[in-house]
Structure 1
């Protein structure tokens, strides 16, 4: 589906999506009966919420809503594929709203404690020298998206989003944002609940959020959107830093974990941590910023810092 014909849209409060001025076709995929929000809640005594402390030892910002995204990109531009920056921001803002709404609505269904939304830094241009936001003192790279545990923030490069949308379709921004939000969720959990394959678990949590939002009625899928999301996981591979197989698992693993979140919701993503039959990809979380990391700059592909590591580099 061309990126200039978005149809993967929220059904309530279409503030961001409406800026593109494009219609929504309301067709829901046939998985609503098993998505997150309909699965029995996990035992609060087992699944605990340990909100990541800041460097001063205080708790994270006491807010229950995601911040308004900032941007280091121009006010408007038309990309080579015909997509405008205004349309792109509409998709991104809608994806942020949908994902944040799911977690704020359902956090208490699965975890103890209050939901604390991450800061949304949002869109940046990693190819524009000196303009990218930093994490741990290192600028965020191009063609990637990040969760930065140092300041509990999320950011995504415009080049990644434009290219991914051109190759995959308008659902791509939703996948990126839901995946990165999954890392923010991991950072709030007890380490025992975070999978060794934490990139794969983030895929699972992302699917749980998107299909959970569909079950809630805040997001509607057109026919083919589910296939489009799966294609995003299997087709990009090493073409983009955000999807390298070495850090994110192969396409079979990614699709499997995504489907786990789609059908089993958040509890299934948590229960899979440590499961020898599924949690088989070991990815070592970063401890320090390493300019020599693959791709240069921060260790973009490593992720899922635990609460005791508030200054770790960004994750993708």
Structure 2
């Protein structure tokens, strides 16, 4: 199956931060929106529910397109990682479930309620969960590429769990997941499983520049993700050089 990541009007990915939260029996790596920022409000005439039929000017139904992109990103990630595990003589187990949710606390990871405006991988239940209203709003604002990066990064956390990779510092875990997401996307493009439209790589670059830590964030702090330069370098190192560049051992 060939999937095309289409291009929408440019927009910043500012506020889409990747976090790793440790809780009892639960490792959560996710893309979230910082406190105080809200997702783009629904357009007039449409509801905010994930089931709302909101048709774009080009005639497509944006929520339906979002759902299809999530399914495509999951399918490509599963095939990609299955091939990597098979090549190394290991058995691959796909992530058990991908769960959309709408309300804070609707889904929990190891007893920890998940907040709104977030997407996470939960090792305790081996699932990815995402706030569907926030994700659809970001999808409309940023475009299809957001979905493939989002799923790629969260799936990378699931692969880290399968390989027993657990760093001492959050920043190490997150930069490696960025690299692995880049490898998944770059290798899928080279294998013609995924086709990017003109300008998508530049949108990835602009988005990654927007999600770096604040200048005063210590690199060793819990929850640190890396500077904009570090995150961009990690993602594109994986995109250009594949998994060999991601220090998987």
What is the CA distance between 1:105 and its match in structure 2? 1.9
- Aligned: 1:100 with 2:78: yes
Shift of 1:260: 1.1
Give the 3 Å change call, closer, same or farther, for CA 192–159 of structure 1 in structure 2: closer
> 2: distance between equivalents of 1:269 and 1:160?
29
Q: Normalising by structure 2, what TM-score?
A: 0.68
Preserved contact between residue 80 and residue 188 of structure 2 (Cα < 8 Å): yes
Contact kept, 8 Å, 1:168 with 1:231, in 2: the verdict is no
In structure 1, the gaps of 5 or more residues are 1-11, 18-22, 26-54, 56-72, 240-244, 274-316
Which whole-Å deviations, capped at 9, do the CAs of 1:90-129 have from their partners, x for residues lacking one? Answer: 11111111111111122233x442111111223221xx35
Q: CA deviation at 1:24?
A: 6.4
Offset at residue 159 of structure 1 (A)? 3.3
Greater helix proportion: 2
Quick one: structure 1 residues 80 and 144, their matched pair in 2 at CA, closer, same or farther if it must change by over 3 Å? farther
Find runs of 4+ consecutive structure 1 residues off by over 6 angstroms.
Answer: 79-83, 192-195
Residue 235, structure 1, aligned to residue 210, structure 2: yes
Distance 1:257 1:118 in 2: 23
Q: Is the 8 A contact 1:179 1:202 kept in 2?
A: yes
Select the structure that is richer in strand. Answer: 2
Give the equivalent residue in structure 1 for 2:121: 147
Q: How many residues align?
A: 199
Match of 1:87 in 2: 65
Q: How big is each residue's C-alpha offset from its partner over 1:22-42, in whole Å with a ceiling of 9 and x where there is no partner?
A: x969xxxxxxxxxxxxxxxxx
- 269 and 224 in structure 1: CA distance in 2 versus 1, 3 angstrom threshold: same
- Equivalent in 233, 239, 243 of residue 266 of structure 1: 243
Matched ranges for 1:1-316 at <5 A: 12=1, 74-78=50-54, 84-109=62-87, 111-125=88-102, 128=103, 132-191=106-165, 197-236=172-211, 247-270=224-247
Q: Note the residue ranges of structure 2 that are not aligned, 5 or more in a row.
A: 8-24, 26-48, 215-221
Alpha-carbon distance between aligned partners in 2 of 1:80 and 1:136, rounded to the nearest angstrom: 39
Q: CA RMSD in A?
A: 3.3
The alpha carbon displacement at 1:190 in A equals: 3.8
Q: Which residue of 1 aligns with 2:217?
A: none
Q: How much has 1:185 moved relative to structure 2?
A: 0.7
1:83, CA displacement in angstroms? Answer: 6.2
Contact 2:209–2:231 under 8 Å retained in 1: yes
**Contact 1:194-1:270 at 8 Å conserved across structures:** no
Q: CA deviation at 1:134?
A: 1.4
Once the two structures are superposed, what CA deviation does each residue of 1:62-109 show, in whole Å capped at 9, x if it has no partner?
Answer: xxxxxxxxxxx6533439999632121111111111111111122233
- Alpha-carbon distance in 2 for matches of 1:144, 1:247: 16
